[in-house]
Amino acid sequence: MYRRLAMLLTLVLAVGGCAEAASSPSPAASIQATLTSNLTSSSPLLGITLAQAQLPRASADPATAASAADDIDAFGIDLLRAISGGGNTVFSPASIALALAMAEIGANGETASQMNAVLHGVAADGGSGLNALSQALAARSGSFKDSEGREINLTLRIANAPFAQAGLELEPAYLDTLASQFGAGLREVDYAADPEGARALINGWVKDETAGRIPELLGQGVISRYTKLTLVNAIYLKAPWETAFDKSATANAPFTRADGSVVQVPTMSGGEQVASYAAGPGWQAVELPYADDTLAMTIILPDNLASFIAQLSGTHFEQIIRTLAHRQVNLSLPRFKVQTEVDLAKTLGALGMPLAFEPGQADFSGITTKTPLNISAVIHQANISVDEQGTEAAAATAVVMVGMAAPEEPVIVQVNRPFLFAVRDLSTGAALFLGQVTDPSVGS
C-alpha cells in the first residue's frame, strides 16, 4: 500500500448531515433548531447552537487519500524546519492542515493562491482528498488481540468543528462543503456578547474530543468580541504496541544531548525482534507497529539532528520510509513525553501566506460576503506520551478569524541522542504525529 508521510491525528469525524433534500433550495440556507446536547461524539456542551448544511458525507475516492497524505507530509516537513528549534517538539501537520483547509476552501484570489502553496495543494480539490484520507483513517479504531490472546483497544479519533458568531451570514456553498467534505456542522456562539464564554465553550469541546489531554487550547485574549469564526480540529490517539516492552527491562541509560552533555533517562529495551529497519549516510531508522498493524511509529536517528532537519524534505522522508525492510533489531528506546503549544500565525506568514492575516487584504469571500474576514491566530497544541505499553497523543488546532530475508546478525539501534519520530498510518502513509526529542528527561 502507500508508505508516505502525512499528519492526521484522530478520525471518527462528527458527520453532521441528514438526508439530502432533492427539491429544496440549497440545504445550507436554513438553520436547524438550537441543540443543547449531543453536540459532540462524547458529552454534551450547553450553550452552543448547532446549525449545519443538511448534506450527507460525500463518498470518497481512496486513490486521492495518498495524494492528500503526500501534501500534508510536505507541509509537515516545512513546519518542522520552521518551529523545531533546539528543544523537544511535537505537532500534528494533519490537524493544522485540516483546520487551515476549512479556511482555504472559503478563500479567493491571491489569499487562496498563497494558502494553496503553503499547504502544498492539499485543499486545491475542495477538500475531497482530505475527505478520502479522513474516511480511510476512520476505520483504524477497534479491538484487537495481542500475542497472548488478550483484547486490547486502539482509538484514533478526529473531529472538525467551525464555531461562528450567531447571526453571521455564511455562504451556502461554504456550509455545504464543510458538511460534505469535512463532516463538520457549524456551531454558533456569541463572541460579541460573551467572548470569554465562547472561548470556554470551544475549549470544552476540544477537551472532550481529546480525552482531556488538551484542556485549554485557547488562552485568554485569543478570542475577542471581534472574533467572527473559529475553525477547530481535534485529534486523539491511544495505540498499544503490537509487542509491548517488558517493564522489568526498563532501566536508566545514558542519552547524549545535542550539546554533548549526557543525561540518564529511563530506557526501554525490546531485545532482539523483527522490525522494519533502514540505514543511510548519517542516519538509522526503525519502525514499531501498533496493535492493529496499520499504524506505526517511525524513529529516525541521525548522527546530527539539526543538520539532518535542515536538509530534510518530504521527498527525502518518503525515500527513507520506502527503504524500510524487515530484519532483526536489538532496540533500546527512552520513554518520553513531549508537549508543544504555539501560535503559528507568524510562521505561516513567513512560509508564504501573509495575506490571510492582513485586515482589509485577506479575501475569504467564499465564507461570507457580509463581513470581511482575516485570520488573527492559528493556535496549535500537541502532546505525546510513549511508554512500554504504547502511545497516547492528542492535538488540536484553532484558526481564529476576525471581522475586520535470511537470518542476519541483529543491528543495534540505541536511541541515545536526539531523534525524530513520526506516528504513521501504514495503509495511507499518513503521519499522525511528527516531532523530535532532544532531551527525554524533560517532561518525564
Q: Which residues contact 430 (CB under 8 A, 6 or more apart)?
A: 4, 5, 6, 7, 8, 65, 69, 72, 94, 133, 136, 137, 424
Whole-angstrom distance, CA of residue 342 vs CA of residue 222 = 12
pLDDT of residue 152: 84
pLDDT of residue 408: 62
Q: Which residues contact 112 (CB under 8 A, 6 or more apart)?
A: 104, 363, 366
According to DSSP, the residues that pair with 79 across neighbouring strands are: none
Q: Of the CATH numbers 1.25.40.10, 3.30.497.10, 3.90.79.10, 3.40.50.720, which one belongs to the domain with range 27-239+338-403?
A: 3.30.497.10
- Parallel, antiparallel, or unpaired for β 186-189 and 283-289? unpaired
pLDDT along the chain (444 residues), means of 10: 34 26 32 28 49 73 91 95 90 97 98 98 95 90 76 92 94 94 92 96 96 97 96 96 92 95 94 86 94 90 94 91 92 95 97 97 96 97 96 98 72 88 88 90 80
Determine contact, residues 17/182, Cβ cutoff 8 Å: no
If DSSP states are collapsed to H, E and C, what string results for 214-234?
CCCCCCCCCCCCCEEEEEEEE
Domain parsing of the chain, residue ranges: 27-239+338-403, 243-336+406-437
The DSSP string of 299-352 is EEEESSHHHHHHH--HHHHHHHHHH-EEEEEEEEEE-EEEEEEEE-HHHHHHHT
Provide the total of helices (H) and of strands (E) in the chain, helices listed first: 9, 17
Determine contact, residues 159/307, Cβ cutoff 8 Å: no
* Three-class secondary structure of residue 114 per DSSP: helix
pLDDT of residue 419: 86
* Identical fold between 27-239+338-403 and 243-336+406-437: no
Which residue in this structure is represented by grid cell 533546539?
86
Q: What share of the chain is helix, strand, coil (3-state, %, to 5)?
A: 25, 35, 40
Q: Which three cell numbers stand for residue 49?
A: 447552537
pTM to 2 decimals? 0.83
CATH number 2.30.39.10 given to 243-336+406-437 = yes
Whole-angstrom distance, CA of residue 178 vs CA of residue 210 = 21
Determine contact, residues 399/103, Cβ cutoff 8 Å: yes
The DSSP element (H or E) to which 206 belongs, if any, is helix 195-209
Determine contact, residues 242/293, Cβ cutoff 8 Å: yes
Q: Which residues contact 24 (CB under 8 A, 6 or more apart)?
A: none
Which residue in this structure is represented by grid cell 522489568?
248
For residue 293, the 8-state DSSP code is: S
Whole-angstrom distance, CA of residue 24 vs CA of residue 292 = 44
